[in-house]
Structure 1
């Protein structure tokens, strides 16, 4: 069972995802923002993720491409608006299969007194209808799997 919380209040334009990782904040941030580790955790296990671009700075562009075993391709992109290591990232997010439905994502990394990291991701969409479309696309299951994969990778990195 996933330890990821996903809240989407009725009538609101946002989705709030939280997860506590048993890892220090700087490691979670580095793993979350390292182009070399993105393919190991971003997206479902059933797809191969490739980092096409990742310019981790204000105004920098990111683009990840996922390929299914049947050859279907899914691309995601955005622009970084703020990168404050290791506390906060603000970026846009767009699934290229639904152009124009751009979300604004604020991700915070907060160290707990126990030395763990609370990751909170707030995605704000242009309308309730767009947000509902995102939820109906399978985003909830995908986000839980993504966070589980990130957790698995953090455990592996700490055991080295």
Structure 2
């Protein structure tokens, strides 16, 4: 009789390569499955004690991929890659998990979700390519303890989710997405007005984004077929897991000072692409504006920390997006309130306008920064806040 990773007997032909963990969760099966398969939930509980994640791309379908970083307790980042092999809604998931698509040590896991009373029993079985890899995962990386901690986090999160509350200990991140700057650091041109929303820059800062499937789905229709390459991979992350946006007055309207009247309803028509609450920072608050599609504009005169607290109350535990413009993002960076940021460095020189980076010397000390080049000529800069915690004890394999 062979044993699994818990020292329990099993008759499986792969028993000497397995780690098997079972957990009861006091939440309906559909809720547990949703917490496991929707990135706005999954990224908030995944991993053992002390670990957090940053999603780079996510598509939940057979053949789809979750590409992410795990941030270790000691500040080390670990690349992770999962592809979904089988999906039976609310019943079963099979996946392949490694460091990359070509990882020869990638392992397969099968999760089975079964209703038990008012709750769910989840069986999590992992099969490694060899017994040696399994033993190393168990002994060196403490895969059993890490797996148990991960399912414990899932249980706490799903239980709170089922109760309709905000999962404890999972405060949303503050993120910036798809913000473009010129080579000389300008996020918008000079002379913004109704006829020129981006000032003298025109659409030059957005030429990389407009052809992407994400922007065309938002209504920025071009003459060509939507692109699905590197630029789309970055553009598509803008709304995943977002519960609210904070934007500056000039992103909402071309005017400054008192409103004069309140007929202006934004640049985006009656159905804006946000589909969440939006907090507009202005020294001249006006009544809340509710539009179609779930977008509601709240007008607030507040400093960044106060605005963030207000926005989090609207976000329902999801992340907060800082939508711009340049001065608004700069103020949140100055207040050290941003966790993740995507900046598209566009190969144009504007010479004048609103700069993003002024006064932010040493920003690189707060963030890990990676660059990704695109055939469009844009360089995508990804910023992740450095984390420093207790030494790493498990990989969570």
Aligned with residue 126 of structure 1, among 121, 126, 129:
129
Distance 1:73 1:129, change over 3 A: same
**Which of 18, 22, 25 is the aligned partner of 1:18?**
22
Q: Secondary structure at the match of 2:105?
A: coil
Q: Deviations over 1:52-107 (max 9, x none)?
A: 222111111122311235431012212211111011111101146xx421111111
Q: Cα 1:90–1:43, aligned 2, differ >3 Å: closer, same or farther?
A: same
Distance 1:58 1:131 in 2: 25
Alignment partners' CA distance in 2, 1:82 and 1:68: 29
| 1:155 to partner: Cα distance | 2.1
Q: Which residue, out of 145, 149, 155, partners 1:141?
A: 145
Asked if 2 retains the 8 angstrom alpha-carbon contact of 1:51 and 1:65, the reply is: yes
Find 1:40's aligned residue among 41, 44, 67.
44
Aligned partners of 1:28 and 1:154 also within 8 Å: yes
SS in 1 for 2:138: helix
- 1:89, 1:13 → 2: CA distance? 19
TM, length-normalised to structure 1: 0.85
Determine if contact 1:103/1:123 at 8 Å carries over to the other structure: yes
| Aligned with 1:80 (options 74, 77, 84) | 84
- Partner secondary structure for residue 37 of structure 1: helix
Give the Cα–Cα distance (whole angstroms) in 1 for the partners of residues 119 and 147 of structure 2: 20
Distance apart, 1:9 and its partner CA: 5.9
Quote how far apart the aligned CAs of 1:8 are. Answer: 5.4
- Which residue is 1:90 aligned to? 94
Identify which of structures 1 and 2 has the higher relative contact order when contacts are C-alpha pairs closer than 8 Å and 6+ apart.
Answer: 1
Q: Which runs of 5+ in 2 are unaligned?
A: 10-14, 165-397
Question: Could you tell which deviates more after superposition, 13-22 or 47-56?
Answer: 47-56
Check the 8 A contact 2:19/2:144 in 1, yes or no: no
Match of 1:31 among 6, 14, 35: 35
What's the secondary structure of 1:36's corresponding residue?
Answer: helix
The alignment's C-alpha RMSD in Å is 2.1
1:33-72 to structure 2, matched below 5 A, reads 33-68=37-72, 70-72=74-76
Aligned to 1:3: none
SS at match of 2:16: coil
Alignment partner for residue 161 of structure 2, among 139, 157, 160? 157
Larger deviation: 51-60 or 80-89? 51-60
CA contact 2:25–2:159 (8 Å) conserved in 1: no
Figure out how many residues of one structure are paired with residues of the other and give that number: 153
